[in-house]
A and B are shown apart, each in its own frame.
Chain A
Amino acid sequence: MTRMPPSVGTVVDWAAGVMFRILFAASVLFLVIPIVVSVVLSFDDRQFLGPFPPTQFSLRWYRSFLDNPAYLEGLIVSLKLAVLSTLISTAAGASAAYVLSAGRWPGRDVVEMLFLSPKFVPTVVIGFSILGFASAIQVFDPFTRLIMGHVVITIPFTVRATLASLIGIKRSLMEAAISLGAPPWRAFLDVTLPLARTGIVAGGLMAFVLSFDEVAVSLFLSDPFTQTLPIVLVAEMRANLNLTVAAVSTVFAAVTVLIVFFLDRVVGLDRVIGQGLYRG
Chain B
Amino acid sequence: MNGLSRRDLLKISAATGLGSMGLPGVDPALAQQGEQLLVVMWGAAWIEVSRKIVDAYVAKTGDKVAWELHAGGAMAIVAKVKPAWPRVNYNLISGWDPVFRAMIKEDWIEPVTLDEMPALKDIPPVFFQKNDKGQLMSVPLSTAGAFWGYRTDLVDKPIESIEQLLEPRFKGKLCVPFPVNLTGLLMLTLAMQRGGNERNIEPGWQFLKELAERGQIGRVINNNSEFINAMSSGETSVAFFNIGAWTQVRKQFPVKIMSKIKDNKGFLFNEGFAVIKQSDPKKVAAAKRLANHFATPEINEQYNWPLGEGPTNPKSKANPDIADVFYKPDELAQYAYIADFEFMASQVDSWAKRWEQEIAPLIRRS
Contacts and interface: CB of A to CB of B under 8 A. Distances in A.
A and B touch in their complex, CB below 8 angstroms: yes
Interface of A: 47-50, 131-132, 135, 140, 223-225, 234-242
A240 B225 contact: yes
A239 B73 CA distance: 10
Interface in B21-47: 38, 40, 42-44, 47
A241 B47 contact: no
Contact of B229 (A131, A235, A236, A241): A241
Interface in B122-145: none
27 contacts: A48-B232, A48-B233, A49-B233, A135-B83, A140-B84, A140-B87, A223-B89, A224-B68, A224-B89, A225-B38, A236-B43, A236-B69, A238-B43, A238-B71, A238-B72, A238-B222, A238-B225, A239-B42, A239-B44, A239-B47, A239-B224, A240-B43, A240-B47, A241-B225, A241-B226, A241-B229, A242-B225
Contact of B83 (A131, A224, A240, A242): A131
A234 B40 CA distance: 16
B81 to A, nearest CB: 10
A239 B47 CA distance: 9
A48 B69 CA distance: 19
B71 A224 contact: no
B66 A225 contact: yes
Contacts of A47: 252
Interface residues of B, number: 27
A225 B229 CA distance: 28
A135 B232 contact: no
B189 interface: no
B228 interface: yes
Given A140-B84, A223-B84, A239-B47, 9 more contacts: A48-B252, A49-B229, A224-B66, A235-B69, A238-B43, A238-B71, A238-B72, A239-B225, A242-B225
B223 interface: yes
Interface string B42-79: 11100100000000000000000010111110000000
Contacts of A131: 83
A223 B40 CA distance: 12
Interface centre among B83, B222, B223, by most A CB within 10 Å?
A: B83
Contacts, number: 60
Contacts of A234: 71
A49 B232 contact: yes
Interface in B209-233: 222-226, 228-229, 232-233
Which 5 A/B pairs are nearest by Cβ-Cβ distance? A239-B43, A239-B69, A240-B43, A224-B68, A140-B87
Interface in B223-270: 223-226, 228-229, 232-233, 252
B46 to A, nearest CB: 9
Contacts of A241: 225-226, 228-229
Nearest to A140: B87
A70 to B, nearest CB: 9
A124 B40 CA distance: 24
A189 B66 CA distance: 49
A122 to B, nearest CB: 18
Nearest to B83: A135
Nearest to A51: B233
Contact of B71 (A140, A235, A242): A235
Contacts of B70: 239
A47 B45 CA distance: 12
B44 A132 contact: no
Interface centre among A135, A235, A239, A241, by most B CB within 10 Å?
A: A239
Contacts of B87: 140
Interface centre among B71, B223, B224, B229, by most A CB within 10 Å?
A: B71
B76 to A, nearest CB: 10
B223 A239 contact: yes
B38 A224 contact: yes
A132 B83 CA distance: 7
A132 B79 CA distance: 12
A99 to B, nearest CB: 36
Given A238-B71, A240-B44, A240-B69, A48 B225 contact: no
A48 B229 contact: yes
A176 to B, nearest CB: 54
Contacts of B69: 235-236, 239-240
Contacts of A223: 84, 89
Contacts of B89: 223-225
Given A140-B84, A224-B38, A225-B38, A48 B71 contact: no
A92 B188 CA distance: 55
Contact of A238 (B38, B68, B223): B223
Nearest to B44: A240
Contacts of A140: 84, 87
Contacts of A235: 69, 71
A43 B44 CA distance: 20
Nearest to A69: B66
Nearest to B90: A224
B75 to A, nearest CB: 15
A236 B225 CA distance: 10
A247 to B, nearest CB: 17
Contacts of B90: 224
Nearest to B87: A140
Given A49-B232, A224-B38, A239 B83 contact: no
Contacts of B40: 224
Contacts of A242: 225
A48 B83 contact: no
Nearest to B222: A238
Nearest to B72: A238
